[in-house]
Amino acid sequence: MLIGLDCAEPSLVLERWRDKLSTLAGLMERGAYGRLTSVIPPITVPAWSCMMSSKTPGDLGVYGFRNRSDHTYDGGFIAMSTAIKEPRLWDLVTRAGGSSVVLSVPGTYPPRPLSGVMVGCFLTPGLESKYTYPASLRDEIADVVGEYIFDTKDFRTDDKDYLLGQVYEMTNRRFALAEHLAENKPWTFFAMVEMGPDRMHHGFWKYMDPEHRKHEPGNPYETAILDYHRHVDGLIGRLLEHADEDTVVFVVSDHGAKRLDGGIRINEWLRCEGLLATLAEPEGVSSLRDVGVDWSRTTAWGEGGYYARVFLNVQGREPEGTIPPDKYEAVRDDLARRIADIPDDAGNLIPTAVYKPEELYGEPKGVAPDLIVVFGDLLWRSVGTIGGDEGIQTLENDTGPDDANHAQDGLYIVAGPGIQATGRSDAHLLDIAPTVLELLEIEEPPGMRGRSMVPALAER
Amino acid sequence: MNVVVYVSDALRTDHLGCYGARYINTRTIDELAADGVRFDQAISAAPWTAPSTTSIVTGLNAHHHGYLHWDAQLDPTTETLFRAFSAHGYQVGSFVFDKNYLFKDLPEANVLGTSETLDRAFAWLRANRANPFFLYVHNWATHMPYDILHADRKDWLSAKQEIIEGIQSDSASALESMRESYRKAVERQSEVLVASFLEELETLGLLENTVFAFLSDHGESWGERFSPKEDVKGVYHMHGATLYDEIVHVQLILSARGTIEPGTVPAQVRAIDLMPTLLDLAGLPARDTDGESLVPLMSGSNDGDRPAIIAGTDMGALTKLAVRMPPWKLILDVESGEEEAYRLDVDPRELDSRPADAPPALREIVFRELESAERHELTEEEEATVAKRLADLGYL
């Protein structure tokens, strides 16, 4: 049984709050736990699919939520389940003759057939979508929990009580469904992912963290994230009652969380550097799409989101490429250096990492970005907009309040038969799938990137 | 070389002498089989005409071509037998039971008239005897209610209703009289229709250089799988609703005097293998099909059973998907996720379902195939909803 907590942060769950989370602490006591280093980029899509397949984003050809499908300027797709071509754990369990319960694991809408049941993830458009496999499960869900909630609505609200209510309602219904499925469906592999921790971190971090630049001591939400974790800890405790004694339990997260200092407006920076030309002068904060790009005078452009994907405009590759192919590497190296030097709002250097996809992934599939940029050790995020008065650095998220960014390390806790109380040892997100396979005695397919943790966990 | 594909609608394989039937006179078809290659385990891609026939002429499994309803749309870029032969200078013609149904959206089939009598097909043969030709005949003589023109809708429908009521009545004599009409229809197919067709080919001197492919699109039943019998509400329940062997095990005979060496092929093959086989025999380039040429098997090589995928449909939707891989057949109900599995060598009538015992390999095939059937594109509206949510979350 694998319980995913999107964005659960190891320094909180494994350390600071350990004695407040009795269910998780009990698992840690009986088994093993540690940091779980995520893939780059450490974001929900593709990280959960990487964990479930033991493949890197480059293997999957999925570099974030929105991906380029070709080298044109507007050929893009949002990475849904169909973008994942590699087998994930439930596919391998199906092949081995077992069955699975897969509940809202990111990367599962539209749901795909398997031996067992699947409920679509947080990207399911709505309840009227065909979000279950088999189709008849949808009515059963309505009977059990009423309206199932895929994700929080109106996340960018200033009404924090409303947001809090939304997250709790979503989580409660998901765990109620999880208990129902765990009890009533046959499974050899059970996997669920709760999005609530991520939404709580993004919405409430500044109230908790005194180091956040907008923190106000004594605010009413100081313990909101902790309270939520205690609530989830209780729900996990109830869910575990539906697992028999032969069940190995994993609690995992796809990445952690840390405070957000601000955003770097990658396209605004490119524009100021003369590397990105627009068709018109932006009126206020705008998207590239709205203003239009003058491709014939553009060297590079970027995508926002939590990390920056930077694309070069190369002759013979992009429709109106400007960079001669033989200058590509020189331009890319130069750009990488300059991006790494973008300072924070006070003019201080920040520890920005700029990666070439082939350095991260070997031979990346699909259309990878030319550069992958993680600003300021993830204390800074990437923002895609241009125009307005803010300049390069923004302290206000342009789409509404956002308090936290993702941290590179998530966490894992594992306990159950065959797992000794080995205590703390850190691992990698890509190790989870081989570990689950070994525990289920299913042969590992060739090409998995991680290694089974079972040998280390089975001995003292 | 010429090609004739002759499909006898709803002809059960166990009603042919060459497949072991007794007391039914199918001597002409039996001789055709003796002179040609008889495939003992040929499996249809679907249990009723629209998807099954479309599989025959495209070489694609039904869940891939998606023509699961008479009003469905076949992707216009789909390669067909008709197009492949006509691209190489063949005259192409089709005669079907009713031009408002079969191939109505497939202009390249060149439907020229009815197959209920063969006169017009013979006229076409005479006119094209000097050309290489590809002729498709879909004959309805063995489809209930027998001997009534499909175009005579009123009589046809009332005769059909009579049969359905006969099944619903659950009376032994009504059932026996229906089955007797069916046996007579099979005899007429063999001894009148196929016999006169072969005679015509012989008269025209075409027997030597014409590959004659004889098969059915599916079998038939009379409510045996239904209880109560009132659940048999139409012709759909006589064959379209189930994927058991009496429906999906079809006959397949390939004959060309002097060209094809007589023989039998015991291994499982699929109706979707016919298109690549005919292209292979005619020396035409292979097309992108799910099926594969049977020519190697006809010359004695045995590469084992080929897994057969069978699609069950209802009102145009894919409702079941089965994989038949001797000795097992696994049937997945796509809506409920429930499985049936039969060990065909010890349970040939498929009465004792044992899904827990089915080999995982079958399950793997069925899920892989099912996944390949699903069309997953988001609607624009869905995509906008998702994009908005992602933007709200700060991901875009």
Checking if the pLDDT of A400 tops 60, the result is no
For residue range B140-197, list pLDDT tens digits in order: 999 999 878 777 888 988 999 999 999 999 999 999 999 999 999 999 999 999 999 9
Please indicate whether, in this complex, the C-beta atoms of B371 and A400 are within 8 angstroms of each other: no
Could you report how far apart the first and last alpha carbons of chain B are, in Å? 61
Å between B319 CA and nearest CA of chain A: 10
Q: What is the mean pLDDT of residues A376-392?
A: 90
pLDDT at residue A163, rounded to an integer = 94
Distance CA A11, CA A253 (A): 12
Q: What pTM value is reported for the model?
A: 0.81
Tally of CA atoms within 13 A in the half-sphere of A196 that contains its CB:
27
In this structure, are strands A404-407 and A300-303 parallel, antiparallel, or unpaired? Answer: unpaired
Supply the DSSP string of B146-200, one letter for each residue: -SS-TT-HHHHHHHHHHHHHHHHHT-HHHHHHHHHHHHHHHHHIIIIIIHHHHHH
Q: What is the mean pLDDT of residues A1-17?
A: 97
Could you report how far apart the first and last alpha carbons of chain A are, in Å? 23
Task: Give the other-Cβ count within 10 Å of B344's Cβ.
Answer: 18
Distance CA A377, CA B95 (A): 72
Q: What is the mean pLDDT of residues B17-35?
A: 97
Residue A283 CB partners (closer than 8 Å, separation 6+): A387
Interface test with B, best of A63, A69, A94, A403 (most B CBs within 10 A): A94
Residue in the structure block whose two tokens are 């005619």: B282
Residue in A81, A115, A384 closest to B367 by CB: A115
Residue in A65, A96, A134 closest to B390 by CB: A65
Residue A107 CB partners (closer than 8 Å, separation 6+): A45, A46, A48, A49, A52, A79, A80, A81, A84, A88, A121
Starting at the earlier edge strand, list the strands of the sheet with B210-215: B111-114, B91-96, B133-139, B2-8, B210-215, B249-255, B37-43, B263-270
Q: What is the mean pLDDT of chain A?
A: 93
Å between B368 CA and nearest CA of chain A: 8
The single-letter code of the amino acid at B357 is D
Checking if the pLDDT of A397 tops 80, the result is no
Task: Give the other-Cβ count within 10 Å of A287's Cβ.
Answer: 16
Å between B288 CA and nearest CA of chain A: 22
Checking if the pLDDT of A224 tops 60, the result is yes
Checking if the pLDDT of A124 tops 90, the result is yes
Cβ pair B9, B143 in contact under 8 A:
yes
- The interface predicted TM-score (ipTM) is 0.81
For residue range A299-317, list pLDDT tens digits in order: 999 987 889 999 999 999 9
Confidence of residue B377 (pLDDT cuts 50, 70, 90): low
The single-letter code of the amino acid at A358 is E
β-sheet bridge partners, residue A263: A381, A394
Checking if the pLDDT of B376 tops 70, the result is no
In this structure, are strands A409-415 and A249-252 parallel, antiparallel, or unpaired? Answer: antiparallel
pLDDT at residue B31, rounded to an integer = 97
Residue in A97, A134, A400 closest to B363 by CB: A97
For residue range B339-352, list pLDDT tens digits in order: 999 999 999 999 99
Task: Give the other-Cβ count within 10 Å of A258's Cβ.
Answer: 22
For residue range B49-101, list pLDDT tens digits in order: 999 999 999 999 999 999 999 988 888 889 999 999 999 999 999 999 888 89
Q: Which two tokens stand for residue B392?
A: 């709200």
Checking if the pLDDT of A58 tops 60, the result is yes
Residues in chain B with CB shorter than 8 Å from the CB of A123 are 386, 389-390
Count how many pairs of residues, chain A against chain B, have C-beta atoms within 8 Å. 92
Burial classification of residue A217, based on how many CB atoms lie within 10 Å of its CB (0-12 exposed, 13-18 middle, 19 or more buried): exposed
Starting at the earlier edge strand, list the strands of the sheet with A393-394: A380-383, A262-265, A393-394
Checking if the pLDDT of A201 tops 90, the result is yes
Checking if the pLDDT of A399 tops 70, the result is no
Confidence of residue B375 (pLDDT cuts 50, 70, 90): low
Please indicate whether, in this complex, the C-beta atoms of B378 and A125 are within 8 angstroms of each other: yes
pLDDT at residue A151, rounded to an integer = 94
Residue of B nearest to A44 (CA): B395
Confidence of residue B374 (pLDDT cuts 50, 70, 90): low
Q: What is the mean pLDDT of residues A83-111?
A: 93
Interface test with B, best of A115, A132, A139, A289 (most B CBs within 10 A): A115
Q: What percent of chain A has pLDDT over 90?
A: 83
Å between A28 CA and nearest CA of chain B: 31
Cβ pair A450, A431 in contact under 8 A:
yes
Å between B309 CA and nearest CA of chain A: 16
Confidence of residue A6 (pLDDT cuts 50, 70, 90): very high
Interface of A with B in 67-86 (CB under 8 A): 78, 80-82
Burial classification of residue A349, based on how many CB atoms lie within 10 Å of its CB (0-12 exposed, 13-18 middle, 19 or more buried): exposed
User: What distance lies between CA A174 and its chain's CA centroid?
Assistant: 19
Checking if the pLDDT of A460 tops 60, the result is no
pLDDT at residue B373, rounded to an integer = 82
pLDDT at residue B75, rounded to an integer = 86
Helices A160-184 and A137-145 sit at what angle, rounded to 10 degrees? Answer: 120
Q: Looking at per-residue confidence, does A429 or A80 come out higher?
A: A429
Residue B351 CB partners (closer than 8 Å, separation 6+): B342
Residue in B387, B393, B394 closest to A78 by CB: B387
pLDDT at residue A459, rounded to an integer = 66
Q: What is the mean pLDDT of residues A286-293?
A: 91
pLDDT at residue B259, rounded to an integer = 87
Checking if the pLDDT of B276 tops 90, the result is yes
pLDDT at residue A347, rounded to an integer = 93
Distance CA A17, CA A232 (A): 13
Checking if the pLDDT of A77 tops 90, the result is no
pLDDT at residue B116, rounded to an integer = 82
Residues in chain A with CB shorter than 8 Å from the CB of B371 are 112-113
Checking if the pLDDT of A133 tops 80, the result is yes
Q: What is the 3-state secondary structure (H, E, C) of A253-314?
A: CCCEEEECCEEEEHHHHHHHCCCCCECCCCCCCECHHHHCECHHHCCEEEECECCEEEEECE
Checking if the pLDDT of A398 tops 80, the result is no
Q: What percent of chain B has pLDDT over 90?
A: 80
**Which ranges of A61-136 would DSSP assign to H, the alpha helix?**
89-95
